[in-house]
Amino acid sequence: MSTPPAPTAGRHWLDRPVLVTGATGLLGGWLVPRLVAQGACVACVVRDHVPASRLMRPGCASEVVISYADVRDQEAMERIIGEYEIDTIFHLAAQTIVGVANRNPLSTFDSNIRGTWVTLEAARRSSTVRAVVVASSDKAYGSAPLRCTEDTRLEGRHPYDVSKSCADLISRTYAETYDLPVAVARCGNLFGGGDLNWSRLVPGTIRSVLRGEHPVLRSDGTAVRDYFYVEDGAQAYMLAAQSLAQRPALRGEAFNFSNERPLSVLEMTRAILEALASDLEPEVRGDARHEIVEQSLDASKAHQVLGWKACWSLGEALARTVEWYREYLGSARAGVDGRWARTGRHVG
């Protein structure tokens, strides 16, 4: 596959009708404002009203169309895509917490697998859709070795991993069988301001330290992961969609997005503590179950085919993330949102 220069945004997004599912999530909270800033006409599919999400904050929700619907509802998805003459779809909606998936596999399968095929089927029946980017994950590779490439087999074994493997395969089925212009994005562990799932390593650790508490690691701290800054993620998704619209031959392709700097949970915790200038030591519980031991991504294809590169170093990304949580946790809303913590202080 040839290696063209990276496309510049230019006027590509100006007045372009765009649909974002899962817009109240971490990635959606950064992607939607970026699209709006570049002139896109953005519609968001939202299942639940999440007042603490970045989408619902002043200056964002007032600039987009919000449709309260479930991505598993075929009729609703066809209506939204048809009525707003959607050109580009970012399908981000999913149940994304591994622990929740382990406890509730059926709801996770339903949301992540059925939600994907319903969205793709609605797109297939549309005459206006020119590009669909589906959010897969590094977890779709299952317990694959380090430095997974896009040719590594998808072998999820536990509920969340399997749901992403299936959604990934279904997406490429629609490209191969129906010529639907769909591409798949596989990212590492996204982090950044706006993530209020306190069971995750980065927000959970930051909140604990800012409260003067020792962060608690569910795992033994040795699991290796890619940690990928959400603003780089939003930029990567937009580049993938723009490239797909301009180069139809990219349909059916998958792309890994990563800063290619895998860290153990304990190493990442230390980096967060350094960003917070904290000498608190983590409490290592070592009681996590059904989690992949080592995983990282090779992003060479995204570099070569899309001309993509990350913009933020880990240190810069963590500094921006810490600053976001300092401001957020010092606000009046923090006490309200904190009640929705899913698993208390346990992170990692």
Active-site residues: which are they?
160
Cα dihedral 37, 41, 44, 50 sign:
positive
- Read off the amino acid at residue 285: R
**Phi-psi domain of 142 (left: phi exceeds 0; alpha: psi -120 through 50; beta: other):** left
Q: Are 104 and 147 in contact (CB under 8 A)?
A: no
| Distance, first Cα to last Cα, the chain | 38
* Burial class of residue 331 (count of CB atoms within 10 Å of its CB; 0-12, 13-18, 19+): exposed
Nearest to 81 by CA among 122, 114, 44, 35: 122
Count of residues for the chain?
348
Q: Got the DSSP string for 180-230?
A: --EEEEEE-EEE-TT---TTSHHHHHHHHHHTT---EESS-S--EE-EEEH
**Phi-psi domain of 11 (left: phi exceeds 0; alpha: psi -120 through 50; beta: other):** alpha
